[in-house]
């Protein structure tokens, strides 16, 4: 399983875990249960920042992986990406992901509305305290870097790859059985990555659209049920993190076999642990009976 593509997928899996840990409790507890931010000022800055970092890390990794597949399939005679190269690319991905959303960490803080405000809460809300015009520009910048530009790049790279694999003959490969099997394996991988990209586009689109609409017209926040609309959009966005493992197992036999091996190993460990525990209990019972009845 230690291939270049799988190392990229490992990076995406890590971002999915981070998103699952950060998105669910820190969005739904304050928005649906309390209607205020209960985690303090430091967590307000940290949570918003980590959310953007995790999303950017996963998105830029998908772009890097698409370029790797693009070069490998359209230019098969070029040197392939090494594990060291993947490590350097991953380091660059995380440097970019941690650098771009720094304004979120700097300007996210607890905001307490005035006492005469209809949304007054003495405990405050977690939000970006920027000037409105600056916030609109920053939100658009984040959305373009995190969503629209990566989607355009992914559409181009996978579109070209799909055209070469399904319509044209791959340069440098003869149409023999071995090469046909290689081409079939590549088609399966590209299909899987296209599904991952489409799911990303669908899951995150409502969240980005609502953010754009909210920045353009903040009157929508006065609507009584707007929090349910926003939380539904965030729920759809967060669900993308649990879609990827299902897609990998469904569309990749190596992943399916790997998961089966892991599950079988876990079952064996549980069974062996249960048997040892029963044996230890039996041995303890026997020794106690011996102490009670030495004769």
The closest alpha carbon to 85, from 157, 153, 4, belongs to 4
Q: How many domains, the chain?
A: 1
Confidence class for position 276, pLDDT limits 50, 70, 90: low
Structural domain range at position 99: 4-251
Helices 253-292/226-251 angle, 10° precision: 90
- The sign of the dihedral angle between the CA atoms of 234, 221, 100, 195 is positive
Residue 95 pLDDT: 94
DSSP classification of residue 118: T
- Where do we find the tokens 């549980």? 270
Identify which of 51-60, 131-140, 173-182, 231-240 has the greatest average pLDDT.
51-60
CA distance 34 to 126: 12
User: Is 214 part of a structural domain of the chain?
Assistant: yes
User: Is 292 part of a structural domain of the chain?
Assistant: no
Mean pLDDT of all residues in the chain?
A: 78
CA distance 53 to 104: 10
User: Is 104 part of a structural domain of the chain?
Assistant: yes
Which of 27-31, 168-172, 282-286 is predicted least confidently? 282-286
CA distance 128 to 16: 24
User: Is 223 part of a structural domain of the chain?
Assistant: yes
Q: Contact at 8 Å (CB) between 16 and 58?
A: yes
Instruction: Decide if pLDDT at 92 tops 90.
Output: yes
Give percent of the chain above pLDDT 70: 81
User: Is 139 part of a structural domain of the chain?
Assistant: yes
Residue 171 belongs to domain with CATH number: 1.20.1070.10
User: Is 116 part of a structural domain of the chain?
Assistant: yes
Residue 74 pLDDT: 81
DSSP classification of residue 221: G
Strand partners, 110: 126
- The sign of the dihedral angle between the CA atoms of 243, 246, 252, 255 is positive
Instruction: Decide if pLDDT at 70 tops 90.
Output: no
Residue 188 pLDDT: 73
Residue 286 pLDDT: 41
CA distance 260 to 266: 10
User: Is 73 part of a structural domain of the chain?
Assistant: yes
Instruction: Decide if pLDDT at 117 tops 70.
Output: no
Distance (Å) of CA 18 to CA 4, 52, 198, 226: 22, 11, 21, 26
Residue range 169-196: mean pLDDT, rounded: 63
CA distance 44 to 125: 9
User: Is 76 part of a structural domain of the chain?
Assistant: yes
- The sign of the dihedral angle between the CA atoms of 37, 39, 45, 48 is negative
Residue 107 pLDDT: 85
Bigger pLDDT: 54 or 284?
Answer: 54
Residue range 232-260: mean pLDDT, rounded: 81
Whole-prediction pTM: 0.76
């Amino acid at each position: 399983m230690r291939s270049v593509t799988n190392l990229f997928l490992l990076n995406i899996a890590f971002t999915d875990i981070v998103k699952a840990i950060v998105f669910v409790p820190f969005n739904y507890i304050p928005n649906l249960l309390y209607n205020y931010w209960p985690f303090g000022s430091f967590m307000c800055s940290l949570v918003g920042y980590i959310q953007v970092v995790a999303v950017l890390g996963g998105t830029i990794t998908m772009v890097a992986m698409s370029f790797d597949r693009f070069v490998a399939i359209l230019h098969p005679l070029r040197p392939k990406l090494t594990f060291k190269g993947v490590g350097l690319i991953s380091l660059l991905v995380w440097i970019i992901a941690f650098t771009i959303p720094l304004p979120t960490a700097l300007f996210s803080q607890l905001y307490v509305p005035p006492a005469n405000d209809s949304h007054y809460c003495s405990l405050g809300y977690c939000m970006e305290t920027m000037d409105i015009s600056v916030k609109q520009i920053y939100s658009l910048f984040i959305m373009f870097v995190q969503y629209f530009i990566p989607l355009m790049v992914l559409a181009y790279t996978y579109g070209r790859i799909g055209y070469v694999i399904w319509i044209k003959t791959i340069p440098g490969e003869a149409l023999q059985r071995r090469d046909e099997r290689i081409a079939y394996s590549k088609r399966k991988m590209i299909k899987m990555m296209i599904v991952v990209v489409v799911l990303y586009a669908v899951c995150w689109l409502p969240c980005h659209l609502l953010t754009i609409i909210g920045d353009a017209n903040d009157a929508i926040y006065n609507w009584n049920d707007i929090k349910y609309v926003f939380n539904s959009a965030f729920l759809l966005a967060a669900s993308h993190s649990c879609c990827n493992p299902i897609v990998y197992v469904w569309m990749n036999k190596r992943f399916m076999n790997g998961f089966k091996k892991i599950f079988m190993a876990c079952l064996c460990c549980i069974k062996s642990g249960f048997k040892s525990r029963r044996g230890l209990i039996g041995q303890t019972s026997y020794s106690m009976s011996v102490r009670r009845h030495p004769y």
